[in-house]
Amino acid sequence: AIPKFAYKKGTTTLGFEFKGGIIIAVDSRATQGQYIASQTVQKVIEINNYLLGTMAGGAADCQYWERYLGMECRLWELRNNSRITIAAASKILSDIAWSQRNMDLSMGTMVAGWDKHGPSLYYVDNDGTRMKHKLFSVGSGSIYAYGVLDTGYHYDLEVEEACDLA
């Protein structure tokens, strides 16, 4: 008899810094409980030309607040006549999430990019938690992604090796 597998459904996003920059990798499936709603969801959101956000959790929450972050980053640039840093952009998103913490948001995001300080990768969630690190995985499949990253990740990866790992 053919064994039946209990497939896990949900999101897996990962990102890591390496000597060539930052790699972001995401799946493309959207689920609603056990129902697969779409196989072609864009879970990487361009906040601006040098800043990306990822989506895990409620698609509407992630898309809305990361697009709102894009507007806030543009306003920052107009007010200060300089590009916003990745740290400042992630702090804005964290402050927004903190202010909305009792509104049942569902958001687990990475904010990644390149600024005057080099590459940066931050994790921000719906409670306003904000962390900077060299690698993150977010979503229900993150434990599996961390298993792969634990065995294959090191900062000195070449671009091709980093792409293969992601």
Q: Tell me the catalytic residues.
A: 11
Distance CA 53, CA 46 (A): 6
Strands 51-54, 118-125: pairing is unpaired
Given the structure tokens 């361009």, which residue do they identify? Answer: 46
Distance CA 51, CA 88 (A): 12
Residue 81 DSSP code: S
Q: For residue 118, count CB atoms less than 10 angstroms from its CB and return exposed for 0-12, middle for 13-18, buried for 19 or more.
A: exposed
